[in-house]
Amino acid sequence: MRDHVGYLETKNKARMHVYALPEQHHRRVSSESPALSLCRALGASTPPKPGQTRRLRPPPLLKPKVRLKLASAMALSYPQLQSTPWSHSGLDKSDIIFMCLNRPDATIDLTAPHISQNFTSRSAPKASSTSTAVSDSSTALSMALAFIKQSRGEGLFALGKLLVELAFNSPLENLFEDEDKDHGKVFEFTEYLAAKCLLSEIYEEHGYLYGEAVRRCIEGVDVREKAVENPDFRRVFLRDIFQPLQDTSTFFNGNPG
């Protein structure tokens, strides 16, 4: 029987019980086998084996099929974790960690992502949220900025950003164009503009279903109350975002079962 190590409470006071994994499933982090974040894995190349000459274009560390699996896994985790203390404002590439199995010969398992989060004590005061004022004029820019602020709080835009990064095997900040910046500096609208501009390439490279899932994360799903506690939102999210990603991964990787 697994050891019960405690529980976390959700917003609706439901308890998420936490159990220790069996020893054969333990992961380890050491100086010989450090953990690897998705942030570091994106764009990295496979290191050559001893005695092997590095080719001009070394293969990527995260293969395309692996990135598609990660995309559907991250989408599936969104409604499961968003309303819990595990994820307050969406997952970031720095929060996703890969580790080794607890075996001497084990290498980093890039197919099993773990989520690293800092927890805040219940007694600690909540940090006051700050937001930049949006112009009163009903311009497309001010409306988009307001949407991004809301989506960041919900984590949906963060998921869309992560899907873009997995599609291109690169952090989004490495994909910015000059027109996305203001005198070389990144401004508030940069991530949204960059993600929108890259959509056409995502459709071409990864297909219609993956592109639609990214677009819905960026532009929002057609539900009035966009909160994971809303059953209608969860239903539409699973249908219009997770399922297209899962179907894309299945098409390229085969039946997951």
Element (H, E) at 98: strand 96-98
Query: Is pLDDT of 149 > 80?
Result: no
Contact 159, 75 (CB under 8 A): yes
Cβ-proximal residues to 7 (8 Å cutoff; 6+ apart), any chain: 15, 16, 17, 18
Of the listed ranges 25-29, 41-45, 170-174, 234-238, the one predicted with least confidence: 25-29
List, in sequence order, every beta strand (DSSP E) within 100-189: 100-101, 114-115, 181-182, 185-186
**Mean pLDDT of the residues in the chain:** 75
Q: Residue 129 above 80 pLDDT?
A: no
Residues 35-67 have pLDDT tens digits of 888 999 998 888 766 666 555 667 889 999 999
Q: What pLDDT, on a 0 to 100 scale, did the predictor assign at position 229?
A: 78
The reported pLDDT for the residue numbered 89 is 60
Give me the percent of the chain exceeding a pLDDT of 70. 57
DSSP 57: S
**SS3 sequence of 222-238:** CCCCCCCCCHHHHHHHH
The better pLDDT of the pair 253, 170 is held by: 170
pLDDT-derived band at 254, boundaries 50, 70, 90: confident
Q: Kindly indicate the confidence band of residue 163, based on its pLDDT and cuts at 50, 70 and 90.
A: very high
**Share above pLDDT 90 across residues of the chain, in percent, rounded to a whole number:** 26
Read off the pLDDT band of 5 (50, 70, 90).
low
Q: Which of 209, 211, 210, 216 is nearest to 236 (CA)?
A: 216
Q: Which residues pair with 15 in a beta bridge?
A: 9
Tens digit of each residue's pLDDT (9 = 90 or more) over 20-39: 656 555 555 555 556 888 99
Chain-centroid distance, C-alpha 71:
7
pTM of the model: 0.72
Residue 121 has pLDDT above 50, yes or no: no
pLDDT tens for 7-19 read: 666 666 666 677 6
Decide: 175 and 42 in contact? Cβ < 8 Å: no
Q: Find the mean pLDDT for residues 151-171.
A: 84
What digits encode the pLDDT tens for the residues 181-205? 655 566 657 788 888 889 999 999 9
Topology of the domain comprising 24-43+60-116+140-253: Transferase(Phosphotransferase); domain 1 (1.10.510)
- Beta strands 114-115 and 96-98: pairing type? antiparallel
223 pLDDT band, cuts 50/70/90, is confident
